[in-house]
Amino acid sequence: MKSIQTTNNFDEILSTIQKSKQKAMKQVNSTLIELYWNIGEYISQKTIQENWGKSVVKELEVFIKNKEPDIKGFTSRNLWRMKQFYETYSDNKKVSSLLTQITWTNNLLILSAAKSEEEREFYLLLTSKAQYSSRELERQIRSGIFERTILANEKLSDNIKNLPQNVTNVFRDSYSLEFLDLPYKHKEKELQKALIGSLKEFILELGVGFAFIGEEYRVQVGNEDFYIDLLFYHRHLKCLVAFELKISKFKPADLGQLEFYLEALDRDIKNDDENPSIGILLCREKDDEVVEYALNRSVSPAIISEYETKLIPKKILQQKLNELYEIYELDDNKE
């Protein structure tokens, strides 16, 4: 029988192998993206200088195939994508390092789905941090996570904005919980149980940095026990994040309960070196004007979000974002 010490030594060797393998894969991916960039730059310049068109690029595809029959991926379609890839980012030095940190497939997903420079930068940064698979990234794009995040950024209360930690791009105005497969009408306990049962998917939806602490997390105040629906810790924000679940439309009275929990967390649970706790009231729906009024008088760092049991069409989210921008533009003009 192998000793525990021997097994630990074996684990260290295996860990070293795995780290080296990951490092090698990253280097290969980086080299590949640089190759596609250089080819895209070359074709782009030739289209300008020598009027290269689709027929010439098709000849290039045939030439590569004849000279290097074992090399795949250099179809005329992909060669045009390399040109588009280069031309899209050639003037944006800010994202150049991010491009080589994600796969070519994910680069193409972002290139085809994102409609603006801001949206492309958002997905590049998000994907490089989270190391999404192509399937995970596709789901995030389909769920409109860019629009939902920007909407949340724009609606943050001053109590959130004035925190020592920067919460930009961390929270969502609405959370898409289509993976729970819940009926439209459900109970709070059913929602909580479903979220715990699909914790991996829920954390993917929450975003990078969230670590689950517990459900029905007990806090004692005086001689009474109180229970927070879901408690997380955010590694980058260095704070506790409490989720309270409501299957009904947001009511201002709901905010008092969440504020009470945040006070209990900060007084009795939070470590001295951690930042103030943040609360998320996750409701079935909300009226933004009612939310604004409620938060304006609140002294706690709270966020009111809604959840959907089905994916929200991106067009609807884009329309909401455009409407919000229009409101801000009108306010600026009044000033």
- State residue 19's pLDDT score: 84
The mean pLDDT values, 10 residues at a time, for the chain of 335 residues are 63 84 87 96 95 94 93 93 96 91 96 94 95 94 94 93 94 95 92 96 95 97 96 97 97 94 97 97 96 92 95 86 72 54
Whole-angstrom CA distances from 226 to 216, 219, 223 are 9, 5, 10
> Which residues fall within 8 angstroms of residue 92, CB to CB, at 6 or more apart?
117, 121
Query: End-to-end alpha-carbon separation of the chain, Å?
Result: 79
- State residue 322's pLDDT score: 85
* Burial class of residue 71 (count of CB atoms within 10 Å of its CB; 0-12, 13-18, 19+): exposed
Cα gap 35→26, rounded to integer Å = 14
**Spans of all domains in the chain:** 4-142, 145-334
Cα gap 28→77, rounded to integer Å = 22
- State residue 329's pLDDT score: 60
3-class secondary-structure state, position 224: strand
- State residue 316's pLDDT score: 87
Sign of dihedral through CA atoms 87, 91, 93, 94?
A: negative
Question: What is the greatest pairwise CA distance in the chain?
Answer: 82
Q: Which CATH code is given to the segment(s) 145-334?
A: 3.40.1350.10
Cα gap 186→195, rounded to integer Å = 13
Is there a contact between 172 and 305 (Cβ–Cβ < 8 Å)?
yes
- State residue 1's pLDDT score: 47
Cα gap 227→43, rounded to integer Å = 62
- State residue 333's pLDDT score: 53
The DSSP secondary structure of 110-168, one letter per residue, reads HHHH--SHHHHHHHHHHHHHHT--HHHHHHHHHTTHHHHHHHHHHH--HHHHTSSS--T
Task: Please choose, from the candidates 111, 105, 104, 86, the residue with its C-alpha nearest in 3D space to the C-alpha of residue 96.
Answer: 86
Element housing 212 (H / E): strand 210-221
- Rounded to two decimals, the pTM is 0.86
- State residue 216's pLDDT score: 97
- State residue 10's pLDDT score: 80
- State residue 89's pLDDT score: 96
The single-letter DSSP state of residue 69 is: T
